[in-house]
């Protein structure tokens, strides 16, 4: 007796089956494997926090084969890591548009742990919003929060829409205990950088600042850093950066989160009561040794 509920049930199971064709299990930590998505041919995306070693990484494909994978790069800021595998092993993910999500939309989280079938969780989008910055400093294009339970091993797996398209990568670590999804556009941007450099370069000025009336006052200048090379001094009050009036340090961080390394920014400042203009060549934020 096919009821409305059983046809809904079939649709969900179909979405799981179709979505799971590009979902793999990633063995990069002791015991419990995590999940990954075959995002481009030969490219697996997973969450950075679940890749606990740089070598001896393997992935289990939907057909049960376990093959070697190489770590291509990681970005703790957005909690993404990229692995490469041999090309042509499994279908590439069919991507959807997470910007179309509204609170209430039905979504699934998929996972694969080892050589068993896919694992699924069900929920609804609870909130959406614009660009935000993770507590680890990464810029994420959309805020997608759902009431999905990211069970152990589901981290790094996809958020799947009812039509089986993949909308992003679920991270258990960015805003615990809520399930947060790194949307498609952010994943695209980060994996392009990770494949090119192995990490995501973030802009750096080499100056500490604090808000005052009229802008941000410089409290310290790192020796040899971009601010020092541009001639900025302690006590300078920065009124605008790259043509934008600056009132809060977050605005500087937003500016530096984008693709600005190597760009020259116009800085308007007040020094000793006098307006000045300097050019500042944005450097790359030094990376902490792991």
Which whole-number Å values give the CA distances from 53 to 26, 112, 180, 290, in the listed order? 11, 19, 24, 12
Q: Site for other proteins (CB under 8 A): which residue of 14, 97, 250, 259?
A: 14
Q: Which of 32, 127, 212, 234 binds other proteins (CB under 8 A)?
A: 32
The verdict on 8 binding other proteins (CB under 8 A) reads yes
Residue from 12, 92, 195, 261 binding other proteins (CB under 8 A)? 12
Stretch that binds other proteins, among 59-67, 125-133, 149-157, 167-175 (CB under 8 A): 149-157
Nearer Cβ to other proteins, position 134 or 165? 165
Q: Does 115 bind other proteins (CB under 8 A)?
A: no
Q: 71-109: buried (b, 16+ CB within 10 Å) or exposed (e) per residue?
A: bbbbbbbbbbbbbbbeeebbebbebbebeebeeebbbbb
Cβ distance to other proteins smaller for residue 33 or 183: 33
Q: Are 230 and 278 in contact (CB under 8 A)?
A: yes
H-run or E-run covering 159: strand 158-161
Q: How far apart are CA 197 and CA 183, in angstroms?
A: 21
- Spacing of C-alpha 80 from chain mean position: 5
59 binds other proteins (CB under 8 A): no
Taking the complex as a whole, how short is the minimal distance between the CB of residue 195 and other proteins, in angstroms?
Answer: 30
Supply the minimum distance, in Å, between the C-beta of residue 182 and other proteins: 21
For other proteins, give the closer residue by CB, 82 or 166: 166
CB closer to other proteins out of 34 and 134: 34
Residue range at the interface with other proteins (CB under 8 A); choices 29-37, 67-75, 129-137, 233-241: 29-37
Q: Which of 22, 46, 60, 113 binds other proteins (CB under 8 A)?
A: 113
* Smallest separation, CB 165 to other proteins (Å): 15
- Whole-number Å distance between alpha carbons of 228 and 240: 17
Q: Output the smallest distance, CB 49 to other proteins, in A.
A: 15
Within 13 A of 122's CA, how many CA atoms are on the CB side? 9
Task: Look at residues 169, 170, 164, 165 and name the one whose alpha carbon lies nearest to residue 151.
Answer: 170
**What region, left, alpha or beta, does residue 135 occupy, with left being phi > 0 and alpha being psi -120 to 50 degrees?**
alpha
- Through-space distance between the first and last CA atoms of the chain, rounded to whole angstroms: 59
Taking CB under 8 A as the rule, does residue 53 contact other proteins?
Answer: no
| Residues forming the site for other proteins (CB under 8 A) | 1, 3-6, 8-10, 12-17, 20, 31-33, 108, 113-114, 116-122, 149, 151-153
């Amino acid at each position: 007796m096919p009821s409305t509920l059983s046809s809904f049930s079939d649709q969900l199971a179909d979405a799981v089956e179709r979505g799971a064709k590009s979902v793999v299990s990633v063995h990069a930590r002791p015991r419990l494997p995590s999940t990954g998505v075959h995002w481009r041919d030969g490219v697996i995306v997973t969450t950075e926090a679940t890749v606990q070693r740089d070598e001896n990484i393997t992935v289990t494909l939907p057909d049960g084969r376990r093959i070697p994978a190489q770590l291509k790069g990681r970005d703790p800021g957005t909690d993404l890591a990229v692995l490469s595998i041999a090309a042509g092993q499994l279908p590439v993910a069919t991507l959807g548009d997470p910007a179309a999500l509204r609170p209430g939309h039905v979504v699934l989280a998929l996972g694969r742990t080892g050589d068993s079938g896919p694992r699924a969780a069900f929920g609804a989008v609870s909130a959406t919003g614009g660009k935000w910055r993770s507590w680890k400093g990464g810029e994420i294009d959309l805020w997608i929060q759902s009431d999905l339970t990211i069970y152990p091993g589901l981290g790094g797996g996809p958020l799947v829409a009812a039509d089986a398209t993949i909308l992003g990568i679920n991270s258990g670590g960015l805003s615990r205990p809520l399930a947060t999804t790194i949307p498609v556009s952010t994943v695209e941007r980060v994996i392009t950088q990770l494949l090119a450099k192995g990490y995501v370069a973030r802009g750096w000025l080499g100056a500490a600042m604090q808000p005052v009336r009229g802008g941000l006052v410089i409290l310290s200048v790192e020796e040899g850093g971009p601010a020092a090379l541009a001639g900025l001094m302690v006590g300078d009050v920065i009124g605008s950066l790259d043509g934008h009036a600056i009132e809060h340090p977050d605005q500087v961080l937003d500016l530096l989160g984008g693709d600005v390394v190597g760009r020259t920014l116009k800085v308007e400042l007040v020094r000793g009561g006098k307006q000045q203009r300097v050019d500042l060549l944005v450097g790359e934020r030094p990376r902490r040794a792991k």
